[in-house]
């Protein structure tokens, strides 16, 4: 189903992508990636959903464009300094992300209760990368210009929210938080469904995440 009001201003390329995805779950991650690649989207296709003036307590802009029972399509907006928290994608099984700017992109793995940095996989403008249910990552904008990114997430069974129960890995506080909304730094209690204590990480990773969190808190304090 289309989200009310989004057909207005939707480009033909974006409409074609949604039509190609359809109402059923994709048969594979490769198929979902092909759908996005073949759509040939450009940044202008997503700008009607850009949120460069998002609330300052939100770590980035986040708007739902379209969803079915199995797939949701979202546009994220990144102004300079915006970074998500480290997170996974909850009940989503597959995903495809296309960034229209040079997004910083860090990958992590959870080894028992220890969160470990795995590798850097930064985006170049227009690049597409895939997501599976095991992926733990962090995106951000360390450049001097704003940009948007397309996020298509899919589940294998019908769900009201495709990315429900996403985990936020807060290594500063040593907790894993579960949320159905944006994977932001300093989530308010109202957006945390539950949390698990005992998360650990190397001091270098904790220090880096503390700097990112404190930068967001400073922005919020001067709103």
pLDDT for 19-48, tens place per residue? 999 989 999 999 999 999 999 999 999 999
Measured torsion, CA atoms of residues 170, 174, 176, 181, in degrees rounded to the nearest 10: -30
Place of tokens 């708007």: 63
Give helix 29-39 / helix 12-21 axis angle, nearest 10°.
160
- Domain 12-163: give its CATH architecture: Sandwich (2.60)
User: Can you read off the two tokens belonging to residue 99?
Assistant: 């960034």
3: pLDDT strictly greater than 70: no
* pTM summary value: 0.95
Phi and psi at 13, nearest 5°, equal -65, -45
pLDDT in tens, 70-120: 999 999 999 999 999 999 999 999 999 999 999 999 999 999 999 999 999
Residue found under tokens 């909850």: 90
């Amino acid at each position: 189903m289309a989200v009310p009001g989004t057909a207005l201003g939707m480009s033909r390329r974006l409409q074609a992508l949604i039509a190609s995805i359809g109402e059923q779950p994709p048969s594979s991650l490769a198929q979902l990636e092909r759908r996005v690649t073949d759509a040939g989207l450009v940044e202008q296709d997503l700008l009607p959903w850009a949120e460069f003036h998002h609330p300052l307590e939100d770590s980035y802009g986040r708007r739902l464009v379209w969803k079915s029972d199995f797939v949701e399509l979202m546009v994220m907006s990144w102004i300079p300094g915006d970074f998500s928290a480290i997170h996974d994608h909850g009940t989503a099984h597959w995903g495809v992300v296309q960034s229209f700017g040079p997004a910083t992109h860090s990958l992590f793995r959870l080894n028992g209760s220890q969160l470990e940095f795995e590798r850097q996989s930064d985006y170049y403008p227009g690049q597409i990368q895939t997501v599976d249910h095991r992926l733990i990552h962090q995106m951000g904008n360390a450049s001097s210009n704003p940009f948007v990114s397309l996020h298509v997430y899919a589940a294998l069974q019908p769900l009201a929210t495709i990315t429900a129960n996403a985990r936020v890995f807060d290594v500063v506080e040593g907790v894993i938080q579960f949320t159905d909304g944006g994977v932001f730094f300093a989530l308010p209690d109202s957006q945390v469904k539950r949390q698990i204590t005992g998360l650990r990480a190397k001091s270098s990773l904790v220090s880096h995440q503390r700097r990112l969190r404190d930068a967001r808190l400073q922005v919020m304090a001067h709103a």
